[in-house]
Chains A and B, each alone.
Chain A
Amino acid sequence: MLGKMTRRKSRSRRALSALVAAFAAISIVCAADQAVAEYPDKPVRLVIPYPPGGGASLHAGVIATVAEPYLGQPLIMTIRVGGGGIKAAEYVSKQKADGYIVLMGDITINSLRPLVEKVPFKISDFTPIGRITLDPLVFVGAKNAPFNNAKEMVAYAKSNPGKLVYSSDNVNGWTYVAFKALMKMTGTKMRGIEFGGGGPAVANVLGGHTMAYAGAPAVVGPHIKSGALKPLCTGSTKRAPTLPKVPTCKEEGFDVQWEVWLGLFVHKDTPAPIVAHLRKAFTGILQDKGMKRLIKKINSQINHVEGGAWVKVLEEERKRLKKIYE
Chain B
Amino acid sequence: MVDNFLQGVAAMANFWSISAALLGLVSGIVIGALPGLTATMTVAVLTPFTFFMAPLIGLPFLLGVYKGAIYAGSIPAILINTPGTAAAAATTLDGHVLAREGQARKALLVSLYSSVIGDMLATIVLIAVTAPLAAIAIMFTSPEFTILFLFALTMIAGVSGNSLTKGLIAAALGAWFGSIGLDPMSGMQRLTFGYAELTGGIALVPVLIGMFALSEILIQSEKSVVRSIAAAGVDDASGVSKKEMKSLMPTILRSTGLGIILGALPGLGAEIACWLSYAAARRHSKNPEKFGKGSLEGVAAAESGNNATVPATLIPMLVFGIPGDTVTAVLLGAFMAQGLLAGPLLFQQHGDTIYGLFCVLLLTNVMLLVFGYWAIQYLRRIVFIPRSILLPCVTVFCFAGSYAVSSDFFDVFVMVGGGAAGYLMRKADMPIPPFVIGLLLAPRLENAMRQSLLFGDGSLSIFVTRPISAGLLAIFVASLGFLVWRSFRARQIKDATVTEQPHDAAR
A203 CA / B44 CA spacing, docked (Å): 23
Name the residue in B48, B141, B342 with the highest tally of chain A Cβ atoms < 10 Å from its Cβ: B48
Question: Among residues 47 to 101 in chain A, which have CB atoms less than 8 Å away from a CB atom of chain B?
Answer: 51-54, 57-58, 61-62, 64-65, 77-84, 86-87, 90
Which of B327-335, B411-419, B490-498 faces chain A? B327-335
The answer to whether A226 and B187 touch across the interface, beta carbons within 8 angstroms, is: no
A193 — which chain B residues lie within 8 A by C-beta? Answer: 142, 451, 454-455
Q: Mark interface residues in B434-455 (1 if CB within 8 Å of A CB, else 0).
A: 0000000000000100010011
B338 — which chain A residues lie within 8 A by C-beta? Answer: 297
A-B contact count (CB 8 A): 140
The answer to whether A52 and B187 touch across the interface, beta carbons within 8 angstroms, is: no
| Residue tally, chain B, CB below 8 Å to A | 52
Of A53, A64, A225, A298, the residue contacting B330 (CB under 8 A) is A53
* Closest CB in chain A relative to B443 CB, distance in Å: 8
The answer to whether B343 and A294 touch across the interface, beta carbons within 8 angstroms, is: no
Of A58, A77, A87, A223, the residue contacting B200 (CB under 8 A) is A87
The answer to whether A82 and B454 touch across the interface, beta carbons within 8 angstroms, is: no
Of B49, B266, B322, B344, the residue contacting A226 (CB under 8 A) is B344
Of B321, B326, B454, the residue contacting A202 (CB under 8 A) is B321
B346 — which chain A residues lie within 8 A by C-beta? Answer: 222
Question: Among residues 82 to 135 in chain A, which have CB atoms less than 8 Å away from a CB atom of chain B?
Answer: 82-84, 86-87, 90, 117
A165 CA / B333 CA spacing, docked (Å): 29
* Closest CB in chain B relative to A272 CB, distance in Å: 28
Of A57, A80, A81, A222, the residue contacting B321 (CB under 8 A) is A222
Chain B residues with CB under 8 Å of chain A are: 40, 44, 47-49, 51-52, 138-142, 181-182, 184-187, 199-201, 266-267, 316, 320-323, 326, 328-333, 336-339, 341-346, 406-407, 447, 451, 454-455, 457
A204 within 8 A of B: yes
Of A52, A203, A219, A223, the residue contacting B326 (CB under 8 A) is A52
The answer to whether B339 and A297 touch across the interface, beta carbons within 8 angstroms, is: yes
Of B44, B51, B322, the residue contacting A294 (CB under 8 A) is B51
A51 CA / B341 CA spacing, docked (Å): 19
The answer to whether B182 and A298 touch across the interface, beta carbons within 8 angstroms, is: no
Question: Among residues 157 to 210 in chain A, which have CB atoms less than 8 Å away from a CB atom of chain B?
Answer: 165, 170-171, 191, 193-196, 199-200, 202-204, 206-207, 209
Of A61, A207, A223, the residue contacting B141 (CB under 8 A) is A207
Of B138, B199, B321, B326, the residue contacting A83 (CB under 8 A) is B199
A299 within 8 A of B: yes
The answer to whether A203 and B187 touch across the interface, beta carbons within 8 angstroms, is: no
A228 within 8 A of B: yes
A206 CA / B323 CA spacing, docked (Å): 14
B199 — which chain A residues lie within 8 A by C-beta? Answer: 82-83, 87, 90
A298 CA / B447 CA spacing, docked (Å): 29
By Cβ-Cβ distance, the 3 closest A-B pairs, closest first, are A53-B329, A226-B344, A222-B343
The answer to whether B329 and A206 touch across the interface, beta carbons within 8 angstroms, is: no
The answer to whether B345 and A53 touch across the interface, beta carbons within 8 angstroms, is: no
The answer to whether B182 and A226 touch across the interface, beta carbons within 8 angstroms, is: no
For B134, the closest partner residue in chain A by CB is A206
